Structure formats: structure tokens, C-alpha cells
Structure 1
């Protein structure tokens, strides 16, 4: 392995078939961008020259220090199953490492130009990154990048205590009615109905680095305050009339110079947390006890947190 000074960075070998010049250029663009984001990518177009031993280069696919990004087009799947050409040789290199560790994830299938999403037999039913829809390219790219850097796209929340077993300091068992998890939703998107007079007006969305504590208080029927005061919130902005993630556009373009914003029904709050992830909160209903037939203080909202720490909402 060459000493490039990048030993601390993830190593990735790109396995693909030369289906067309257009496809080869797509692969080069993907590999180039991954390198710009700290992934030490090995690619035949960069790492071989006329006269090079191609088989020696392709044997890197069997080196356990590399993750393998398999760009699985329909042609790639056919060639791998038929043990044909360079793809067939790389399959021969990869397969033994898969047999050594049946629970491993060294190979990351990337589906491209493959309408049926068919994987070659040697990859079985491996979970893949789906690049078939160009409109979803950014989200799929960051999904792949996070995997290569060892960051889960949706972090697993920590395991809590059984609420029916008394813990040290509890006065009585069965504290589920006071469980703080009632005021959180760890998914990266969802819909929430929340009594903003409970839990000091706090509701948590997301988890890990993508965690946002929403701090609410009532303004009036049909509008609500959202503050930037929680420790994990850096800024909050108002996006009037914005109702979907696609309408957010560049999240950094909304004015976030104030400590709080008044969000009316049909508006969105755009938040940035201390880890520089972004979230959009779309307010659908706000009720006070006086205005609500059920006599509840209530805010209903939808939220969306992009998987990547980027300001552009293009979903």
C-alpha cells in the first residue's frame, strides 16, 4: 500500500464495469467527490498506467483494509454472475473475504442504471445505497459518505431503564407518565402533537449529532414562539409560508439573528444545532385552551432533518 499520508482516512476500492463513457464519468465524479471528503479512493483510472498489471491492481478488492464500493449496474450484475472480465476477477477477490466474515459489511453495493435493483449472487441480499434517482443524489451520496466514515445515517438511541422497575431515588415504581421519552422523537422526520405547557415547553426531535431541542411557548391562537435557548440549538429563523422541505431551499438564507421567532400556522422554523445540522419545523396547528374545543394547549407540527450537515434542503 502506498504511503500517502492518509493512513488515518478510510480506504475504498471502487469496483465497476465499463458500461459506457457516460457511466465511467459518473463513477469518476463520485470517486472524486469522496476523495474531497476524506475517503482515500482507489480507482483504476487514477492508479494504473499503460503497461500496469491490472490484475495486481484489482487484487486490492480482496484486501481487508479496503472497503469495496461496488457500483452495481445491470451489466455489472450480469458480468459478476458470469465471472466475466474485470468484474468477474474482482468478484473472485472479494468473495473469500465475504466468506470469512458472513456478518461483515466490507462491500457496499451502490445501485445505478439497474431498474430492478438486482444484486449479483455473491452479494446476496446485502443492503445497498440506491443511486437510481438523480433527484435523490445528494441524500444518497451523504448516506454513502457517512457509512465510509463510520457514522450511522440514523444513530441508534441509548437503551433506557425499564420504567416499571424502581430506580435509585424513585419514590414509587411505574414512572412512565413522567418519562421524558414521551417528549422526544428520534427519527429524522415525523409528525408531532404536543401540549406545549408540558415538559417546560421542550420537545426533542432527532438524536445524536442531529438532535434538536424545540423550545415552545404560546404567542396566541394560531401562532407560537420557538427559541434558540436550549444548549444544543445555535440559531432559529422564520420561513414564512414554507410548508415542505423542498420549499426551504438554502436554510442559511433565512434570517437567524434573533433569540426567538413567532411561527404562525403555515410557516416554518428553520433551526441549526451546535453540530451544524439543520432542521425545519412546519407548524400546522396551534391551539390555546380557550380556542380548542378539547380545552388543550396544543401545537401540531411536522419536522425534517437532512441526513447530512448541509444547508441545502433539496428533498
Structure 2
């Protein structure tokens, strides 16, 4: 494979700057790039201007790196000196050729206002920032990727618009947008009506959920079943906006009580309406999934905002389960009511012969991006809820099964919240997330898993590793 040829244009500003450019060129060559530099390739007796013009316009030169500091920028703008000559050649090439991806500026100096020194002909273009020596490695990788046309963020394949957007007449539509706008205005602008507006929105959303109830003839294999799941996504995201505003703009715990009450009402949809006597257990699986997904997103939002006590309040406060009370059973339940085994998804997987470990995990993964929450945070809170149930020593049937961890991959390190908890001070801050468990409590839990690993969740023989996901050996290891 032929090495990519790259010409480096720069100014002889100072010996230190020349040494820096020489180091950059050397690093490029050691990384497999055929860097061309005047110090190496402009021989005695050669005409400098002709050399520069050839380097800039030669079709064999794939890329041109413009190392721009104050001197280079000023000479380019004034068209004086070597940099000025190259500026005339480069600017002509940039504006007359279709392939403008041949040139990039590597900035090495900022002005007094913190703005990059770049030639005027380049001011509207993206540059690579080399002004912070401590970040040289990252900037150099960015430059290498540009040279090789291998960007770190690869454009994904084009998919299809969700049906609730492309065919809104077939989607479930809720009348919550006006209430949501009013609540957001109250929260973000600290208005007096913020609390009643938030309460109004959450209560309205609770009532509107009835519109998602599936007809009895809709089977798990059908398109209508999936379209129902898809239709909930914009309302999930709408609700998360409210929760994010609550997290960011108020510390009053009464707002968390509103969110708790919303989930308490949500649980009512896990059962048939009082006037319905004939039903299947799978008829309510869509509601169970919506609640599960939303609970994870709300938890991730609170943790990302540092609202550890609020997260604990949502998880630790018991939930009144009216359906149990109606049957004379214990009416107070816990947060594990929002994670259920969904038989309908298993039926869909088997009947459509879908070779997937968990459709629930797939749905959680594929729908996560639109909410603005990274899926790694969904997995993190899923694992935390698993630990909460384990630390509480709940009944086997009340365990929290962390479906999303199917996506962990091989060799996953500890989640961020535990990596940061190497610091004892940080661990003390986040202890409410764990129900105020101590390091000793976690050690005891881990010892139990070592003694009986069969109790750990698994998929096709592969078990999760709480030891690794907590980084237990590093926990509280520094002040």
C-alpha cells in the first residue's frame, strides 16, 4: 500500500516553532504518512517558490497541513514572505478546486482573546487545535484520521422515519404538548405556577396513557404491536424533558414526589380495567415496557444531574398498588414493580424466529438515543437498580433483572459512577444511590456471589460480573 503524501506548510517563526513542526512531521512519518517538509525535501539550489507551488498543486500530494501561528497568519494575510507566497497558491487552490478536503489548518497559537490565528482565506473552516501541548496526542490522532479519511464518528446508515412521524394518522397521539410547554416555562423560568403546572402535566400524561391500550386482537407478531411501542417514544422524551428541568432548576423534593406519584398511577395500567373480565396477561406488556423504560431514563437523568438523594427518594419510597389492595393483598410494593418479564416479547421472538438474546434489551438500546441519554447511562442505572434489590435482599421474584446489560460486551470495565468512587469522598456522595450501603456492604454482597455465582443474571451461559462492574478492588482506594 502506497503511503499518503502530505506537505507541511509553516513559517520559520522561531527555532522552537521549527522544532515543533519537525517533531510533528517526524511523528507523521513514524505513523506511516509520507510527510514532506522543506528541511528534508528542498535541496540547495532549488527555487523555493517553485517547490512550494509544486507541493500545493501536485496531484500526488494528497493532503496539505497548514501549521498556523501568529507569524504565519500575518504573513499570509499580508502576502509577504514564504507564508505569503504559499497563501496565494493555497487560497487559489482552495477556491478553484472542487476537492477542498485537501487542506487543513493545524493551529498552534491563540490571540489575546483566545481566538485561533488562521489565515483569512481559511476563517470559515474547521481547524485542528494544537495549542494545548497536554492534548497533543488527541489532536495528532484527529490529524491522522483526517489524513487517512477515517473520522472517529462514522456516519450511520440511513434508516426509515418512525411510523409515528411518517404516518402520524396511524400513531397514538396524546394531548399533552400544551401542558408540557407550560410546565417547562414554569420550571426553567422559576415561575410561581411551576409546581401546579408540573403536577398538571404528569396527571394528564397518566390519563392519556389509556390511548395506548392494545385491542385484544393485536398479536405480538403484528406490525400494530411494534407501532404501539414506537408511538410511545416521543412521550417518553417529553416526560424526560420535564424530569431534566426538575433536576436542573429545583431542589424541592416535592417534585420528586410528583414523579413518584406518576409512576404509582402508571402501575395501574399493568392490569385490566375494572369493567373487563376477559383478557390475556400479555395484553398489558406494552405498558409494563413503557414504565420500565421510563423508570430507567428518569433514574439516569437524576444521576447524571448529581441528584443522588432524589434518585434514592424515588427508589426507596414504597408504591401503593391499588390492584393489590382491591384483592385484599399487601398494597405496598417497591421499585421492582417497574421491571417485568414480558411474555409477549418472547412470543414475538420465537414465532418470528428472531435470533436475539433479549428483545426488551434491543428495544431499550435502539430507542435510547432520541431521549438525549447515552445508552451507557441506561446500563449503569439498570445495574444500580439490580444492586439496590440485591442489597435489600428482596424475594427472588422481586429481583431487578438488568436486561440492558446484554449490551455490555466483552471485558467491560466498571461503570463511571464506580470508577469515580475510587475516591472515598466521591463514594460518600453517591451512597444514597446505593441506599446508603457502605463499602463493607458491597464487599459482603460480592462474597455472596463468589460463594454462589448461580444467582447472578446470565444470557446463554454468560453471567454479569458485579466485581468488574463495580471495580470493587479499587473502590474507596484513595481519599
Query: What's the TM-score, normalizing by structure 1?
Result: 0.60
- Residue 9 of structure 2 corresponds to residue 15 of structure 1: yes
Of 87, 98, 102 in structure 2, the residue corresponding to residue 106 of structure 1 is 102
Return the index of the structure with the highest Cα Rg: 2
Alignment of 1:224-263 (within 5 A): 233-238=409-414, 242-243=419-420, 260-262=464-466
Shift of 1:259: 6.3
What is the count of residue pairs matched by the alignment?
Answer: 237
Q: Distance in 1 between matches of 2:147 and 2:154?
A: 15
Describe the shift of the 1:170–1:15 C-alpha distance in structure 2 as closer, same or farther (beyond 3 A): same
Q: Which has the higher helix share?
A: 2
Shift of 1:79: 0.5
Shift of 1:129: 0.6
- Residue 388 of structure 2 corresponds to residue 221 of structure 1: yes
The answer for unaligned runs of 5 or more in structure 1 is 1-5, 183-190, 245-257, 270-315
**RMSD value, Cα:** 4.3
Higher RCO (CA 8 Å, separation ≥ 6 residues): 1
- The answer to whether the 8 Å contact 2:68/2:106 transfers is yes
| Residue aligned with 1:234, SS | coil
Query: What's the TM-score, normalizing by structure 2?
Result: 0.41
Partner residue, 2:289: none
Describe the shift of the 1:13–1:225 C-alpha distance in structure 2 as closer, same or farther (beyond 3 A): farther
- The answer to whether the 8 Å contact 1:11/1:67 transfers is yes
- The answer to whether the 8 Å contact 1:61/1:68 transfers is yes
Of 90, 93, 109 in structure 2, the residue corresponding to residue 94 of structure 1 is 90
Describe the shift of the 1:175–1:227 C-alpha distance in structure 2 as closer, same or farther (beyond 3 A): closer
The answer for unaligned runs of 5 or more in structure 2 is 171-221, 238-298, 304-335, 341-359, 370-374, 392-399, 422-461, 473-479
- The answer to whether the 8 Å contact 1:13/1:42 transfers is yes
Q: Distance in 1 between matches of 2:401 and 2:34?
A: 46
| Residue aligned with 2:64, SS | strand
Shift of 1:37: 1.8
Of 36, 57, 66 in structure 2, the residue corresponding to residue 62 of structure 1 is 57
Describe the shift of the 1:57–1:13 C-alpha distance in structure 2 as closer, same or farther (beyond 3 A): same
Shift of 1:175: 4.8
Partner residue, 2:27: 33
Q: Which has the higher strand share?
A: 1
Alignment of 1:136-147 (within 5 A): 136-147=135-146
